[in-house]
Chains A and B, each alone.
Chain A
Amino acid sequence: MAAKTIISRPIYGTLSPQPGKHHLFIADAEGALAITDMAGKAPSGFFDGAEIVFIPGPEGKHIAGLEALKPAQLHIAPSFASLLPRLRQTLTNARMGLRLYLAGTEGLIGQAMQVALEAGIDHTSMQTEHRGSLARRMQCVHCKGITENVTTQPALCSHCGLLLLVRDHYSRRLAAFQGVCINAEDRSEIPPMEEIFR
């Protein structure tokens, strides 16, 4: 059972074209559709100053739709980890006035925002739109390990093996929800695992 939502739980919006000359889009999987949907509202020439970095994911779809926008640059990456060095460099060298748009899974938005925060960009200035999976990135509060793509409640920590309640409490700095041992008081209590973050 998920707790009702709380204030630290991120809220995502709908991408909308921002004034400015330089636009950086970071998206994965169905996040591409958030960009193509937004393109309909963008002024002509908008994508002349845009860079799109895209992680298609296992299904490999939506690349053609992004190419059709004719962005100044389109970079396809196999994973977020592989994208990280390039992204850090881009954000470090970014000029004042760069606009950032993040779209796709919660894990992608969170991790891209984390890198942007480290580069000194204020989180409220970023456009975000959630598309696709609700799978969560979770930090185990006990061993500090991150478990990716958590879909169940409770969930097993992939590092220390404790059974964790996946809370709505979210840290932008860690780009993760908090996982806390669900049966710490009595390990013999094993609540059923339900698939709820799909």
Chain B
Amino acid sequence: MGITFRKETFRDDYTFRNSPEHIRRFPFPFNEDSYMYAVNIEPHVVGPKGSVLENLIDVDEHYVSEMQDRALVLAEDPLRCQSLPHMTLAGWDLLELLMEQQALGYPEHFTLERNGDRWRWINRPLGIDDTFTFGDTSTLPYGPMEYITRQSQGDFCILDQRDGNLWMDAGMVTTQADWSLDFDIGMNFFEWHAPVPLAHEKGIFTRALKFLTNIQQGKPARRLNWTMTINPRLDTSPENYHKWGPDRATVTPDNVGQKVHLRVELQSFWRLPRSNAIVFPIRCYLIKMDELVTQPKWARRLHRVIRDLPEELATYKGLTRYRPTLVEWLSKLDDGSPTSPGFGPD
């Protein structure tokens, strides 16, 4: 049985919703009632059936609509997809990885046929059936990274590894939490993370870089990150901040449930075989408060996390303007009783 893909929008009339099954599989990022940065990296191995980890590259009911939204973003701003000249081989590595993983996890939707360098890729949800020569960019309508990431949910950064550091040298970034690929491309790991508060002092990035530069082929890793977004808008880029920023001033006690969304990034890290680069998919999941609080444990816990969040983090995540309204709204769903261990709903 295949996925039923929703027809929905992430802009204008914002018709994005999660089905009840997708609410329960939402990757809730808090395993306790408070939050602080940590190097929360773990092996990216297959998780329980029905969870977002059932496949290592997750395809869900939002796939088709997300790909349509990406095409709109790229038409407006082609600089969201860039690859420095030395990164083409890594683009082919990524194409192989995403085709293999999507075909493996969802054979009813995707098929990859290989005959030497002659490959045939069938993407049924998007109506694509292309035959091309692996390694020959002239046989694809886009460069390999752009071609496959126009057909894969989530943002993708490809990091070149040299001089003991990782360099953001290619990426497809249209669903980002307020950072600019166009500005950051070419930077090393410490430089592109420079604006993040508190974490440098805690040595987070030094330890994370050490871990990431040692990632081995076939042994991907993952972590969760989170922020909040007003309206289910995938494109919360700095480029368009002057367009979506005003939404933050529109939150009222009456519309919190519909407007405020928890935005979770499932970040994974994979060594690519030919280029020795690391690909860093950043898969974004959105859930509106009305959907999230259908799970009472999540409602209680989120209330405590947002209420007690250190001020610097609240500012960095852009919550300042509507945090009091959100906390007040969530507080009515928190009876003070304990929450069970772990991330999942009760």
Partner of B245, one of A9, A141, A172, A181: A181
Complex Cα spacing A7 to B241, Å: 23
Distance between Cα atoms of A118 and B12 in the complex (Å): 41
* Complex alpha-carbon distance, A160 and B176, angstroms: 23
Q: Report Cα–Cα, A103/B239, bound state, in Å.
A: 32
Contact A185 B321 (CB under 8 A): yes
In the bound assembly, the distance between CA atoms of A169 and B184 in angstroms comes to 9
Q: Answer yes or no: B107 CB below 8 A from chain A CBs.
A: no
28 contacts between A and B (CB under 8 A): A6-B194, A6-B195, A7-B190, A8-B187, A8-B192, A8-B194, A8-B195, A141-B180, A142-B239, A142-B240, A142-B241, A167-B195, A168-B194, A171-B183, A171-B184, A172-B186, A173-B185, A173-B186, A174-B183, A178-B180, A178-B238, A180-B238, A180-B241, A181-B241, A184-B246, A185-B245, A185-B248, A187-B246
**Contact across chains for B194 and A9 when beta carbons are under 8 A apart:** yes
B242 interface residue, CB < 8 Å from A?
yes
Closest Cβ of chain B: how far from A113's Cβ, in Å?
Answer: 12
Interface string of B228-256 (1 = CB under 8 A from A): 00000000001111100110110000000
Q: How many residues of A contact B (CB 8 A)?
A: 23
Please, how many angstroms separate the alpha-carbon atoms of A59 and B125 in the complex? 65
> Is A127's beta carbon under 8 Å from chain B?
no
Q: Is A102 an interface residue (CB 8 A)?
A: no
A144 to B238, CA, bound (A): 11
The reply to whether A141 and B191 contact each other, CB–CB distance below 8 Å, is no
User: Which residues of chain B are near A6, meaning CB under 8 Å?
Assistant: 194-195
Chain A residues within 8 Å of B79, by CB: 144
Min C-beta distance of B13 to chain A, whole Å: 22
Residue B182 is within 8 A (CB to CB) of chain A in the complex: yes
Residues of chain B within 8 A (CB-CB) of A186 are: 246, 249
CA distance A52 to B278 in the complex (A): 41
Residue from A8, A141, A171, A174 within 8 A of B238 (CB atoms): A141
* Contact of A141 with B186 at beta-carbon distance under 8 Å, contacts A7-B191, A167-B195, A178-B180 already known: no
Residues of B within 8 A of A185 (CB): 245-246, 248-249, 321
Task: Please tell me if A162 contacts chain B, counting CB pairs below 8 Å.
Answer: yes
| Given A8-B194, A169-B183, 13 more pairs with CB closer than 8 A | A6-B194, A7-B190, A7-B200, A8-B190, A9-B194, A144-B79, A171-B186, A171-B187, A172-B187, A180-B238, A180-B241, A184-B246, A187-B246
Q: Smallest Cβ distance from B157 to chain A, in angstroms?
A: 15
Interface membership of chain A positions 32-63, coded 1 if the CB is closer than 8 angstroms to chain B and 0 otherwise: 00000000000000000000000000000000
Q: A7-B200, A171-B183, A185-B321 are in contact. Are A142 and B242 (CB under 8 A)?
A: yes
Instruction: Establish whether residues B246 and A141, one from each chain, have CB atoms under 8 Å apart when the complex forms.
Output: no
B319 to chain A, nearest CB (A): 12
Which are the 8 A-B pairs with shortest beta-carbon distances? Answer: A184-B245, A8-B194, A7-B194, A6-B194, A8-B191, A173-B186, A185-B245, A181-B242
Residue of A nearest to B205 (CB): A7
Q: Which chain A residues border B186 with CB–CB below 8 Å?
A: 171-173
With a cutoff of 8 Å between Cβ atoms, the chain B residues found around residue A172 in the complex are 186-187
Given the interface pairs A162-B242, A184-B242, the reply to whether A178 lies near B194 with Cβ below 8 Å is: no
A153 on interface, CB distance cutoff 8 Å:
no
A186 to B321, CA, bound (A): 10
Nearest A residue to B320 via CB reads: A185
CA separation between A184 and B239, bound complex, in Å? 11
Query: Chain B nearest CB: distance from A81 CB in Å?
Result: 22
Mask: chain B, 30-43; 1 = CB below 8 Å from A; 0 = not: 00000000000000
Question: Is A139 part of the binding interface, using a Cβ–Cβ cutoff of 8 Å?
Answer: yes
Chain A residue contacts of B194, Cβ below 8 A: 6-9, 168-169
Contacts of A180 in B (CB 8 A): 238, 241
Which residues in chain A, 1-21, are within 8 Å of chain B measured between CB atoms?
A: 6-9
In whole angstroms, what is the CA distance A181 to B178 when docked?
12
Instruction: Kindly list chain A residues whose C-beta atoms are within 8 Å of the C-beta of B248.
Output: 185
